Amino acid sequence: MTDTRESTDSPSSIVAIACWMDLLGYGGAIDKAGFDPAHPLARRPLSRLYAFQRVVSKNSSGGFPTLVMNDGAVAYSNIDNVRSDKVWRFIERCWTLYNEATTVDLRAGGPGLRGVIAVGLRAKGSNRGIVAQEDALTAIIDALASGKLDRDGAVAEARKVRRVFDIVPQLQANFAFTRAYEAESAGTAGGFPGPNLFLDEAVFADGLPVWIRAGPSVPWHPAKASLSTSFVPLIEIDAVSPEAARATFRTGSQLRAVLRYPGGRQKPA
């Protein structure tokens, strides 16, 4: 099981990568049903929604966690300071997820998905509520094992431990997620038509490699100027050796040099 506990003692930031995907046209379709899930017109958009969520679940793992929020989903990861392996593995998994989810949605008569992969810095998050719940459940198990509680008593106590406040520490003050979400939300008017999966060009150590085919670069200059970057819409990714992949992408330290700059991004020397 992946350990989600994180120290909050240090104010230092973490280099992160995140992908936000959105089911195109869902909001408009469910609006025609008056946002009533029992209305006949809600049947198709809800079917698309559940199919999308099944694909996300299938592609998720301990090394590729996701969080579904209605018709959108975010995948997230940290990037090692001295290695670029996680960047490539993350992009590869997002590409697989995007293609499968889009294929399933197109077969269902939907327009597909729009997704954005972006990098950014994040703060070390707090998971006190999660830890408190884990500690409470551990105490109940210990009491059951020691004989202080019988089975019925343990079940009764466990039912009292309810999570009424939920949080994903890795997504709190995560500005890779912010960048991905804001860019995707800009939509076609912002230069992000769908269906497409857009990749933050900051990940590349020396420009787009020959084994990744993509459309023209999309410079993005939102009102929140510090989020500015450029993206490419992915078309195809060829098989590549681990060595070639590692050389293609920036390490966490190299990305930090690009991202950690007051007022916006700094071009590395």
How do the pLDDT tens digits run along the chain, 269 residues long? 344 444 433 347 899 999 999 999 999 999 999 999 999 999 999 999 999 999 999 999 999 999 999 999 999 999 999 989 999 999 999 999 999 999 999 999 999 999 999 999 998 865 555 556 667 777 878 787 888 878 887 777 777 766 555 677 788 889 999 999 999 999 999 999 989 999 999 999 999 999 999 999 999 999 988 899 999 999 999 999 988 998 999 999 999 988 876 544 555 44
All structural domains of the chain with their residue ranges: 14-124+169-259, 128-160
**Residues pairing with 22 in the sheet:** 72, 114
Count the Cβ atoms, other than its own, within 10 Å of residue 31: 11
Give CA–CA dist 83/96, Å, rounded: 22
Handedness of CA 186, 191, 196, 202 (dihedral sign): negative
**Residue 198 CB contacts under 8 Å (≥ 6 apart), including other chains:** 114, 115, 116, 117, 183, 184, 192, 218, 231, 232, 233, 234
Cis peptide before 209 (omega within 30 of 0): no
pLDDT of 132: 65
Predicted pLDDT at 124: 80
Instruction: Return d(Cα 21, Cα 14) in angstroms, integer.
Output: 22
pLDDT at position 7 is 40
* Per-residue confidence (pLDDT) for residue 8, from 0 to 100: 39
CA distance 28 to 69: 17
Distance CA 108, CA 94 (A): 21
Residue 81, CB-side half-sphere exposure with 13 Å CA sphere: 3
**Residue 248's beta-bridge partner residues?**
none
pLDDT at 191: 93
E strands in the chain: 14-23, 66-69, 72-78, 113-122, 196-200, 212-214, 218-220, 229-237
The C-alpha atoms of residue 61 and residue 21 are separated, in whole angstroms, by: 17
Question: What pLDDT is recorded for position 171?
Answer: 81
Residues 80 and 101: beta-carbon distance below 8 Å: no
Specify the pLDDT at position 5: 41
Q: Beta-carbon neighbour count of residue 195 at 10 Å? A: 19
Domain spanning 14-124+169-259: CATH 3.90.1150.10: no
How far apart CA 39 and CA 32 sit, in angstroms, is 9
